[in-house]
Amino acid sequence: MGTKLVIVESPTKARTISRFLGADFVVESSYGHIRDLPTSKLGVDVEKNFEPQYIVPRKASKAVKLLKGAAKKADKIILATDEDREGEAIAWHLISALGLEDRPGDNIERIVFHEITKRAIEDALANPRDLDLNRINAQQARRILDRLVGYKLSPFLWKKIYRGLSAGRVQSAAVRLIVEREREIEAFKPEEYWTVSGIFNSKKHSEEFEANLSKIDGKPLEKFSIQNEKAAREVTDALAGASWRVGTVEKKATTKNPFPPFTTSTLQQDAFRRLGFSAKRTMVVAQQLYEGIELGSEGSLGLITYMRTDSLNLSQDSVREAKKFLADEVGKNYALSEPRVFKTTSKGAQEAHEAIRPTDPARTPESIKQYLDHSQFRLYDLVWRRFIASQMPQALFDTTSIDIEGTPEKKTGSYTFRATGQIMKFDGFLKIYPTKFTETTLPVLEQNEELLCKGIKPIQHFTEPPPRFTEASLVKALEENGIGRPSTYAPIISTIQSRGYVERYERRYLKPRETGLLVNDMLVEHFPEVVDIQFTARMEEELDEIAEGSKEWQPVIREFYEPFAKHLAEKYESVEKKNMIEETDEICEKCGKRMVIRQGRFGKFLACSGFPDCKNTKTIKTAPETIDMKCPKCIEGDVIIRRTKRGRIFFGCSRYPACDYASWTDPRKPPEGKQKK
């Protein structure tokens, strides 16, 4: 047998795979993409059926030279790039860049695998397949569509707003979600509502418990049934001196089901919520775990399956191994008799793919902790626990609901309060994958038993505006709206921040910058099809149809591009340039000319009106935002909004340091749940 050259994308992946192959195999890395569209021009011939003009970027030339030399010495070429569309396209580009088109068909093989383990690699080598041209065309179509939008629309923004701006087909739709949420928050007007709660105990039990008013005269209360303090006081006044008894006691068993194993989207969401990882960091660490980690004498091993997936499918081997681990190490009552199967609901999901899971369920996080850095350990622990928990029994709870009937002294009307309790009887999957829940114990009460009321209190509440997006909730919204696919969520979020359209707010939330608002408003008004959520989702579906072979890629691009190009030409003529310069009274200390306020990528700044002869610029010192309230401590200063070094908002006195008043909560609003006297 001659030499076989295996080509993968990364040196780490190459090192891991080489462990499972014999001496007649040589494994090399392409270091990612080795062909792409040029950055210096459009690179798409719109007159010739959108023919792309691929080049080998300078940074890839060294890898191409090395791979060409290795290919000449090899009797067989095995393309082992990732299994998704991007990996398929890289394999296709390798054939062209290395000049392999003239090789006999059986001389070039394409293999794919979901995990980098000896079993998976051997199985892939035994079952090679042809390149999937449909997937390649879907990737090409995405790349060309994004190039056409970016390279055609960005110059329009330069001319009509200012230079340096850019537009993206999918990123602009994501920015729109964030902008619209911000405007919902700005337009939000809090609505007042009240609840009434009571503290009770029985003559038999001194243990006190809380219950909330749920019905008046048998009619269930809605959120706004008690809208103001007057109505709440009418309830409490009516109940002064009331008699109380237990109405009904309902006991039942309830269950909590385990979550499915991770997809790309849910991994990014849970890694943000539980570990504080950004989507980008999650994918970087997941890639490391997938490609291989050095585990001492075991060498480099892939620890998780492929991390770009929207499938919930699990291999029979993996669920069988999970069952064995649970029975042997956790307890037989924690192992299912039959594996739990999860149905994938995501559009375009590849059922042949798998969810993200550990490659060896018996390899516990603690057993390899010494070989992992802090981030790798925490993410592997999360993936391992989620998968193992998915094959465990439900958690079982006993829940109790007690209705308490109050009869006013004057026998007018009836008031029902409800208390609920929950006790866990069997932890099930929660033993491995804990989630927050509260155990509440209620005393043992019987129907018609007399109760004592220790106090009734009205509680004022205000409705809250919708929350700003976090990376986790934005990923969820992108997935729910069909914007992007597993491989694009992290790049979308990273791009909109690096372009200065969106910023992190209080370290956690995503908030549009002024530049993002400007660009979004321009696109929404003049190019609604580019930022339309449904249009963007439909385009993703068409890309899926190309990947499935039910659509040709060029007609899909033409259907979008021809009306877009015509529309763009019209807007160049009809849209006036925005005046982004504001006059000021400040004088430039370098040349004596007047300073003006200009809009930059990351906000407004002062610049000399003599530019380009004078390039003097300054940051704008913004006055603190007041909330039209005097300081409650010193009475002299105003309450202003401040920020900590980490960006967290708090409220302080304008006379600081003379007055040290500070509050994390808005002093204008009574705390949630506080009784108003």
Alpha-helical runs (H) found in 6-104: 11-18, 61-73, 85-97
Task: State both tokens at 227.
Answer: 């809208």
Spatial contact of 198 and 418, defined as CB atoms under 8 Å apart: no
Spatial contact of 519 and 165, defined as CB atoms under 8 Å apart: yes
pLDDT digits (tens, 9 = 90+) for 362-381: 999 999 999 999 999 999 99
Rounded to whole angstroms, what are the CA distances from 179 to 510, 512, 577, 601?
Answer: 10, 6, 22, 16
Residue 668: the pLDDT is 78
pLDDT digits (tens, 9 = 90+) for 624-675: 777 878 898 988 899 998 877 666 788 999 888 889 999 988 887 765 544 4
pLDDT digits (tens, 9 = 90+) for 204-214: 878 899 999 99
| Strand (E) or helix (H) holding 477 | helix 471-480
Q: State the distance between the two ends of the chain, measured CA to CA, in whole angstroms.
A: 89
Spatial contact of 428 and 395, defined as CB atoms under 8 Å apart: yes
Which three-class secondary structure state does DSSP give residue 589? Answer: coil
Residues 6+ positions from 139 with CB-CB distance below 8 Å: 85, 86, 88, 89
What is the band of 262 on the pLDDT scale with cuts at 50, 70, 90?
very high
Spatial contact of 193 and 463, defined as CB atoms under 8 Å apart: yes
One-character DSSP codes across 339-408:
-------STT--TTS--B-BS-TTS-TGGGGGGS-HHHHHHHHHHHHHHHHHTSPPEEEEEEEEEEEEE-
Residue 352: the pLDDT is 57
What is the band of 403 on the pLDDT scale with cuts at 50, 70, 90?
very high
Residue 351: the pLDDT is 46
CA distance 88 to 106: 18
The DSSP secondary-structure symbol of 160 reads: H
Instruction: Enumerate domains of the chain plus CATH numbers.
Output: 4-131 (3.40.50.140), 142-187+467-574 (1.10.460.10), 199-223+241-257+399-455 (2.70.20.10), 264-390 (1.10.290.10), 582-612 (no CATH), 625-663 (no CATH)
Residues 6+ positions from 517 with CB-CB distance below 8 Å: 179
| Strand (E) or helix (H) holding 324 | helix 316-325
| Nearest Cα residue to 265 out of 467, 432, 483, 437 | 483
Mean pLDDT of 517-535: 93
| Tally of CB atoms within 10 A around 579 | 6
The residue with tokens 């029902």 is 416
Rounded to whole angstroms, what are the CA distances from 624 to 627, 642, 649?
Answer: 10, 7, 12
For the chain, give the mean pLDDT. Answer: 92
Task: State both tokens at 173.
Answer: 């739709």
Spatial contact of 602 and 593, defined as CB atoms under 8 Å apart: no
Which three-class secondary structure state does DSSP give residue 579? Answer: coil
Threshold 0.85, pTM exceeds: yes
pLDDT digits (tens, 9 = 90+) for 165-174: 999 999 999 9
CA distance 595 to 586: 5
Residue 617: the pLDDT is 93
pLDDT digits (tens, 9 = 90+) for 4-61: 999 999 999 999 999 999 999 999 999 999 999 999 999 999 999 999 999 999 999 9
Mean pLDDT of 256-267: 96
Q: Is the pLDDT at 191 greater than 50, yes or no?
A: yes
Residues 6+ positions from 513 with CB-CB distance below 8 Å: 500, 501, 502, 503, 602, 603
Query: What whole-number percentage of the chain has pLDDT above 70?
Result: 97
| Tally of CB atoms within 10 A around 22 | 8
Task: State both tokens at 151.
Answer: 């390279």
Q: Give the pairing of strands 25-29 and 415-426.
A: unpaired
* Region of residue 676 (left: phi > 0; alpha: psi -120 to 50; beta: else): beta
Spatial contact of 155 and 468, defined as CB atoms under 8 Å apart: no
Residue 673: the pLDDT is 47
Looking at per-residue pLDDT, the higher value among 156 and 413 belongs to 156
Tell me how many degrees the CA angle 477-478-479 measures, rounded to the nearest 5. Answer: 90
* Region of residue 84 (left: phi > 0; alpha: psi -120 to 50; beta: else): beta
The DSSP secondary-structure symbol of 169 reads: T
Q: Is 306 annotated in the active site?
A: yes
Catalytic residue among 31, 162, 193, 306: 306
pLDDT digits (tens, 9 = 90+) for 420-437: 999 999 999 999 999 988
Residue 645: the pLDDT is 65
| Strand (E) or helix (H) holding 242 | none
What is the band of 162 on the pLDDT scale with cuts at 50, 70, 90?
confident
The one-letter amino acid code at 359 reads T
Looking at per-residue pLDDT, the higher value among 255 and 670 belongs to 255
Residue 674: the pLDDT is 47
Mean pLDDT of 117-134: 94
